[in-house]
Protein backbone atom coordinates (compact mmCIF):
# COMPACT_ATOMS: atom_id res chain seq x y z
CA UNK A 1 0.00 0.00 0.00
CA UNK A 2 2.81 2.42 0.80
CA UNK A 3 5.19 1.07 -1.80
CA UNK A 4 8.66 2.60 -1.49
CA UNK A 5 7.56 4.83 1.41
CA UNK A 6 6.99 1.80 3.65
CA UNK A 7 8.36 2.27 7.15
CA UNK A 8 8.31 0.44 10.47
CA UNK A 9 8.98 3.69 12.33
CA UNK A 10 5.89 4.76 14.30
CA UNK A 11 6.53 8.52 13.99
CA UNK A 12 7.08 8.24 10.22
CA UNK A 13 3.79 6.38 9.79
CA UNK A 14 1.91 8.93 11.88
CA UNK A 15 3.46 11.75 9.86
CA UNK A 16 2.22 10.11 6.64
CA UNK A 17 -1.28 9.96 8.10
CA UNK A 18 -1.24 13.62 9.06
CA UNK A 19 0.65 15.06 6.08
CA UNK A 20 -2.03 14.65 3.45
CA UNK A 21 0.42 15.11 0.57
CA UNK A 22 -1.04 12.12 -1.25
CA UNK A 23 -4.12 11.33 -3.30
CA UNK A 24 -7.37 11.50 -1.26
CA UNK A 25 -8.11 7.83 -1.90
CA UNK A 26 -4.62 6.81 -0.76
CA UNK A 27 -4.97 8.87 2.42
CA UNK A 28 -8.41 7.39 3.11
CA UNK A 29 -7.17 3.83 2.65
CA UNK A 30 -4.07 4.47 4.73
CA UNK A 31 -6.09 6.01 7.57
CA UNK A 32 -8.71 3.27 7.46
CA UNK A 33 -6.08 0.52 7.45
CA UNK A 34 -4.31 2.19 10.38
CA UNK A 35 -7.60 2.52 12.26
CA UNK A 36 -8.65 -1.11 11.77
CA UNK A 37 -5.15 -2.31 12.69
CA UNK A 38 -5.18 -0.39 15.98
CA UNK A 39 -8.70 -1.67 16.68
CA UNK A 40 -7.61 -5.23 15.92
CA UNK A 41 -4.67 -4.99 18.34
CA UNK A 42 -6.96 -3.49 21.01
CA UNK A 43 -9.55 -6.24 20.45
CA UNK A 44 -6.88 -8.95 20.77
CA UNK A 45 -5.52 -7.35 23.93
CA UNK A 46 -8.98 -7.24 25.51
CA UNK A 47 -9.66 -10.81 24.50
CA UNK A 48 -6.47 -11.99 26.18
CA UNK A 49 -7.19 -9.99 29.32
CA UNK A 50 -10.59 -11.64 29.56
CA UNK A 51 -9.29 -15.17 29.07
CA UNK A 52 -10.02 -15.73 25.38
CA UNK A 53 -7.74 -17.90 23.31
CA UNK A 54 -5.02 -15.81 21.60
CA UNK A 55 -5.32 -15.42 17.83
CA UNK A 56 -2.40 -16.06 15.53
CA UNK A 57 -0.71 -13.27 13.62
CA UNK A 58 -2.06 -14.74 10.41
CA UNK A 59 -5.64 -14.64 11.64
CA UNK A 60 -5.12 -11.00 12.67
CA UNK A 61 -3.81 -10.21 9.19
CA UNK A 62 -6.80 -11.91 7.57
CA UNK A 63 -9.19 -9.99 9.84
CA UNK A 64 -7.62 -6.66 8.86
CA UNK A 65 -7.52 -7.62 5.18
CA UNK A 66 -11.19 -8.63 5.24
CA UNK A 67 -12.32 -5.35 6.80
CA UNK A 68 -10.25 -3.20 4.44
CA UNK A 69 -11.53 -5.11 1.41
CA UNK A 70 -15.12 -4.82 2.63
CA UNK A 71 -14.72 -1.09 3.12
CA UNK A 72 -13.23 -0.68 -0.35
CA UNK A 73 -16.08 -2.62 -1.94
CA UNK A 74 -18.76 -0.58 -0.17
CA UNK A 75 -17.00 2.67 -1.05
CA UNK A 76 -16.91 1.65 -4.71
CA UNK A 77 -20.61 0.76 -4.69
CA UNK A 78 -21.62 4.07 -3.10
CA UNK A 79 -19.31 5.99 -5.43
CA UNK A 80 -20.73 4.22 -8.48
CA UNK A 81 -24.32 5.18 -7.64
CA UNK A 82 -23.73 8.94 -7.37
36 touches 67 (CB < 8 A) = yes
pTM: 0.73
Instruction: Please answer whether residues 47 and 19 qualify as being in contact, where contact means their C-beta atoms are separated by less than 8 angstroms.
Output: no
Summarize pLDDT for 20-51 with one digit per residue, the tens. 667 787 788 888 888 999 999 999 999 999 99
Per the CB < 8 A criterion, the answer to whether 15 and 2 are in contact is no
**Percentage of the chain with pLDDT > 70?**
88
| pLDDT value at residue 82 | 43
Cβ–Cβ under 8 Å, residues 40 and 64: yes
Farthest-apart Cα atoms in the chain, separation: 46
Domain ranges of the chain: 3-81
Helix, strand and coil percent figures for the chain, each rounded to 5: 80, 0, 20
Amino acid sequence: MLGPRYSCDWSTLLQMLVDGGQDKIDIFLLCYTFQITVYSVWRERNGRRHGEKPQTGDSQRRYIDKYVRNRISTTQMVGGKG
